[in-house]
């Protein structure tokens, strides 16, 4: 590889690191994203310049198909479907890494004696874990897109089948190193697909986005291992960054849920997974119309908004911002309380509200705002449920027990905006709905917020 090519690759790797740094803040996120994308384009174009590539028309055609798919997907995907899109990207990356590793194994087999055992081990790792990431990501996509049930899928003997498949994959991985053969690599890939499916099937409800993050880390590790196999520094650095950030994000999300990663993955086997379904309650609650809620908000000095996934589904963020602007103009202090897993993934709610031009200074993280609830006149919960459910603190048998929550129950008045009495993603009732301080405003969030906005303006 010419020296100038190595220098360009090094520059691309540095740009990836700077891009990740840029994504850590709202003011630099767009520039960071563009920097990373630009470096990726340079890294892809570079081999066309210094290598005598074969099958160039096929390569260009594949790039064109991927580019068109990416542009169309970026334009059409809804903000509420971002986790599904991330899951698909994870799967495609892991599957591509596995296929490349299989091709490399095919090239290595005739010269296996001259190939380092570590390169063969990296190849086996890429095939197996890439296949796991691909299959698992497809299942997470199907769960979130409601192409299949979001509840845990369990069958008798699942732990045994999963364990046996994992052991068999390890055995085939060892054989790939000691007796490399293409058929062993193919068998290893097929076992990886099975392990990926079995890994995700028992996961349900609000746990699915955490598994997406874990599979993202898997994809990053496979890309890094593939970079080692191909002696490609850019792939090695990019994959390491994705693997490290994905792992860190998974641990942060698990902490936000108050559970371990092992419990999230296998908790359903003993009833510990968030369920993702549940029956609507018929217990009596106190409800009110927009005019009554407007009076509560209109005479409040301190208001905290708790946005959730229901806000995103209703595309009501613009109306909510207008309501907050009216309250602020009247002298009310208003903040948005952001739970680490509000929406479905960290940052999901921040991006949704940024899309509505909500000032970033009004978005306050859970740890910083929890002490404020006791001094708050009204908490307005819009499309959220589990992140304010006291069962996380009071009910040891609940699926969300131990999850840090927003202390909305400490406010003087709580207003819930809900479509129905169906439970949240965890599949359990929220006792806060039946608290004497709580008022429910039923209806579609966008429609209800519009009526509430008009009622507040009329005060």
**SS3 category, 220:** helix
Highest mean pLDDT of the ranges 63-77, 171-185, 266-280: 171-185
How many Å apart are CA 284 and CA 293, to the nearest integer?
A: 19
How many Å apart are CA 235 and CA 123, to the nearest integer?
A: 14
Is the pLDDT confidence value at 354 over 90? Answer: no
Query: Residue 306: beta bridge partners?
Result: 381
Record the tokens describing residue 319, joined without a space.
């109306």
Q: Are the CB atoms for 221 and 237 separated by under 8 Å?
A: no
Would you state the pLDDT for residue 265? 81
Q: Are the CB atoms for 383 and 313 separated by under 8 Å?
A: yes
How many Å apart are CA 169 and CA 415, to the nearest integer?
A: 52
Out of 386, 409, 435, 444, pick the active-site residue: 386
Q: Categorize the per-residue pLDDT at 424 as very low, low, confident or very high, splitting at 50, 70 and 90.
A: low
Would you state the pLDDT for residue 279? 60
Ranges assigned E (strand) in 363-442: 363-365, 378-382, 413-418, 438-442
**Domain ranges (residues) in the chain:** 77-270, 290-457
**Could you give the residue ranges of the DSSP H alpha helices within 51-181?**
56-76, 82-108, 117-144, 158-178
How many Å apart are CA 229 and CA 453, to the nearest integer?
A: 59
Q: Is 386 a catalytic residue?
A: yes
Q: Are the CB atoms for 23 and 32 separated by under 8 Å?
A: yes
Is the pLDDT confidence value at 183 over 80? Answer: yes
* Residue 333: its H or E element: strand 333-338
Q: What is the CA radius of gyration of the chain?
A: 25
How would CATH label the architecture of 290-457?
3-Layer(aba) Sandwich (3.40)
Give the pLDDT confidence of 47-106 residue by residue, as tens digits. 999 888 889 999 999 999 999 988 888 888 877 777 888 889 889 999 999 999 999 999
Record the tokens describing residue 446, joined without a space.
């966008």
**SS3 category, 139:** helix
What are the φ/ψ torsions at residue 304 (nearest 5 degrees)? -120, 130
How many Å apart are CA 229 and CA 154, to the nearest integer?
A: 37
Would you state the pLDDT for residue 428? 76
How many Å apart are CA 208 and CA 231, to the nearest integer?
A: 34
Q: The whole model's pTM is what?
A: 0.80
Give the pLDDT confidence of 184-225 residue by residue, as tens digits. 999 999 999 999 999 999 887 667 888 898 999 999 999 999
């Amino acid at each position: 590889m010419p020296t100038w090519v190595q220098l360009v690759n090094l520059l691309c790797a540095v740009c990836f690191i700077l891009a990740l740094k840029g994504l850590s803040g709202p003011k630099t996120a767009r520039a960071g994203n563009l920097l990373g994308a630009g470096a990726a384009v340079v890294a892809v174009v570079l081999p066309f310049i210094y290598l005598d590539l074969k099958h160039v028309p096929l390569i260009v055609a594949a790039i064109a198909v991927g580019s068109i798919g990416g542009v169309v997907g970026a334009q059409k995907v809804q903000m509420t479907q971002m986790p599904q899109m991330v899951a698909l990207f994870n799967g495609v990356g892991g599957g591509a890494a596995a296929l490349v590793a299989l091709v490399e194994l095919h090239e290595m087999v005739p010269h296996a004696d001259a190939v380092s055992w570590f390169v063969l081990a990296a190849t086996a790792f890429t095939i197996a874990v890439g296949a796991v990431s691909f299959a698992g990501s497809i299942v997470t996509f199907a769960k979130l897109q409601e192409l299949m049930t979001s509840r845990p899928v369990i069958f008798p003997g699942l732990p045994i089948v999963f364990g046996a498949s994992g052991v068999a994959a390890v055995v085939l991985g060892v054989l790939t190193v000691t007796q490399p053969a293409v058929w062993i690599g193919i068998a290893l890939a097929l076992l990886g697909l099975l392990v990926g499916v079995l890994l995700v099937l028992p996961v349900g409800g609000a746990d699915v986005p955490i598994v997406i993050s874990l599979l993202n880390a898997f994809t990053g590790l496979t890309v890094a291992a593939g970079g080692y196999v191909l002696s490609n520094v850019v792939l090695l650095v990019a994959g390491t960054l994705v693997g490290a950030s994905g792992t860190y994000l998974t641990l942060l999300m698990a902490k936000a849920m108050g559970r371990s990663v092992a419990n999230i993955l296998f908790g359903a086997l003993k009833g510990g997974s968030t369920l993702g379904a549940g029956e609507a309650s018929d217990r009596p609650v106190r409800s009110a119309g927009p005019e009554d809620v407007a009076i509560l908000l209109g005479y409040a000095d301190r208001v905290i908004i708790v946005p959730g996934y229901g806000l995103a589904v209703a595309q009501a963020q613009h109306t909510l911002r207008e309501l907050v602007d009216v309250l602020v103009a009247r002298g009310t202090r208003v903040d948005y309380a952001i739970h680490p897993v509000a929406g479905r993934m960290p940052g999901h709610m921040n991006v949704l509200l940024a899309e509505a031009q909500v000032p970033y200074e009004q978005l306050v993280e859970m740890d910083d705002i929890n002490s404020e609830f006791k001094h708050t006149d009204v908490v307005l919960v819009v499309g959220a449920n589990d992140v304010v459910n006291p069962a996380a603190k009071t009910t040891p048998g609940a699926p969300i027990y131990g999850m840090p929550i927003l202390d909305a129950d400490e406010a003087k008045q709580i207003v819930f905006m809900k479509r129905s009495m169906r439970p949240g993603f965890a599949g359990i009732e929220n006792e806060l709905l039946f608290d004497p301080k709580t008022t429910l405003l039923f209806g579609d969030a966008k429609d209800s917020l519009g009526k509430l906005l008009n009622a507040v303006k009329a005060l």
